Amino acid sequence: MTKTAKKKVGQKKDAKASLFQSVQGMADTVPADAALWRALRDAAETVSELHDFRRIETPVVEPLANIEAALGCAGPCDASLYLVKAKGQRLALRAESTVGTLRCYLEHHLGYVASPFKAWTETPLFRWTPQRLGRPHLTHEFAFSTIGDSDPVYDIETILVLFEFLREMKFKDLKLSVNTLGCRVCRQNYREKLKAYYQSRRQKLCRSCSSWCERNPWRLFSCENPACREARADAPIVLDYLCQNCNNHFKAVLELIEESGIIYEPNPYLLCDTDYYNRLAFEVTVPGFPGVLASGGRFDYLAEALHGRMIPAVGGAVRVETTIAALKALNIQPRVKEKPRVFFIAVGDQAKKVGVRLIGELRSSGIAVSEVFGKKSLKAQLKVAEKIESPLVLLVGQKEAFEGTVITRDMRTGAQETVVASSLIEEVRKRIK
């Protein structure tokens, strides 16, 4: 084979292999994790109902103009966005949930439905980052937002919802780290002070920090370089620059957190460079796991950026992938509300017909049924029942089909009984309690 021919075959192979690979940085959810996803959804449903949050769904794409307005810039201002060109429209895949949620609130006048309006949503987020960072490009979150009220009581409720969510997942000893970003006025003063502080120490900073200290000085807080860490220790903190209103708001939030019994730690380095965020910023972690399970804050300026009118809002989200990783790392088994499940075996054509009818009746009455009717022999079907550890097997052969009976078999004890097919649902309920 010539070199070019070999190359062509190689290319063909590569193309074939890539047909079965997901987009880089985007993972599938497979049944192995399905129970954990289910537990997360159950937890989201439970806490949103208890706190009166209403479910909203927004499209996975938003007009790029909305995102540009929110970020206060035009053109490709955020390199991490996944841009979509469709029929002349400029769109972007959702990178965070706040813009879509607030756009939905404004478009449907949801402030008239309830004030404040509490919304929750389950959403995928798309963010591109350079491959060397090894970050996923697709993540998911359960986000909770309260729109239309600036009272600190909603700041603490956001924190509580996320804590209850994670406690529902059986996490213990959760830790809250909290800070304030101030408002437009006091944050600007603080930014100038911080900039001046770092500029005076520019020679000592790493190259990256030295280039960032002009544009975004709080980015320097996250640098791990020992010299930058040392500089951080004496850097001015936001608390010393808050205006009276921001100070009062933060004090009230902290008092409410103390009242709720949540253990918290003020973290002056928890800051955000997105302009529409203000005041509260927080993160939730769990001992023994390095990632952040949930985070959030106030975004009072977002409505103004989108709509020209300020509407206070606060929100937070549980990060699905990090939470699942933490559950696995800490070996936590969350509660999963599963339907009772039985395994149905039918041997013979007549038995299969009866089986299909009885399975329909069982499912209609809320009992989940598994089967492998495609496999003919009793042995093959029983093997599957054992593999999936089904606690109860229902069996119909030619004899049972003819007599109108079903054999029930408790797979844990091996006990078998014959019951009348017409009372099957009752008999199954008794056995799977």
Under the rule (CB under 5 A), what is the footprint of Zn ion?
182-183, 186, 206, 209, 223, 225, 228, 243, 246
* 104 versus 246: smaller Cβ distance to Zn ion: 246
* 272 versus 411: smaller Cβ distance to Zn ion: 272
* 181 versus 327: smaller Cβ distance to Zn ion: 181
Helices 320-329 and 31-50, interaxial angle, to 10°? 110
* 214 versus 386: smaller Cβ distance to Zn ion: 214
Neighbours of 421 (CB within 10 A): 18
CB 60, min distance to Zn ion, A = 35
Q: Please provide residue 291's backbone torsions phi and psi, each rounded to the nearest 5 degrees.
A: -85, 170
* 246 versus 253: smaller Cβ distance to Zn ion: 246
CB 204, min distance to Zn ion, A = 10
What residues have CB less than 8 Å from 349, skipping those under 6 apart? Answer: none
* 231 versus 421: smaller Cβ distance to Zn ion: 231
CB 117, min distance to Zn ion, A = 25
What residues have CB less than 8 Å from 92, skipping those under 6 apart? Answer: 61, 62, 63, 64, 67, 81, 82, 83, 84
Helices 31-50 and 152-168, interaxial angle, to 10°? 140
User: Using CA atoms, how far apart are residues 426 and 431, in angstroms rounded to an integer?
Assistant: 9
User: Using CA atoms, how far apart are residues 238 and 264, in angstroms rounded to an integer?
Assistant: 18
User: Using CA atoms, how far apart are residues 75 and 402, in angstroms rounded to an integer?
Assistant: 74
For the chain, the first-to-last Cα distance in angstroms comes to: 67
CB 304, min distance to Zn ion, A = 15
Burial code (b: 16+ CB inside 10 Å, e: under 16) for 336-355 equals: eeeebebbbbbbbeebeebb
* 166 versus 183: smaller Cβ distance to Zn ion: 183
CB 247, min distance to Zn ion, A = 8
CB 245, min distance to Zn ion, A = 6
User: Using CA atoms, how far apart are residues 20 and 10, in angstroms rounded to an integer?
Assistant: 16
DSSP character string of 78-138: -TT--EEEETTEEEEE-SSSHHHHHHHHHHTTGGGT-SSEEEEEEEEEE----GGG---SE
Burial of 254 (0-12, 13-18, 19+ CB in 10 A): middle
* 189 versus 260: smaller Cβ distance to Zn ion: 189
User: Using CA atoms, how far apart are residues 352 and 339, in angstroms rounded to an integer?
Assistant: 24
CB 189, min distance to Zn ion, A = 9
* 124 versus 266: smaller Cβ distance to Zn ion: 266
CB 326, min distance to Zn ion, A = 28
CB 24, min distance to Zn ion, A = 28
User: Using CA atoms, how far apart are residues 233 and 361, in angstroms rounded to an integer?
Assistant: 68
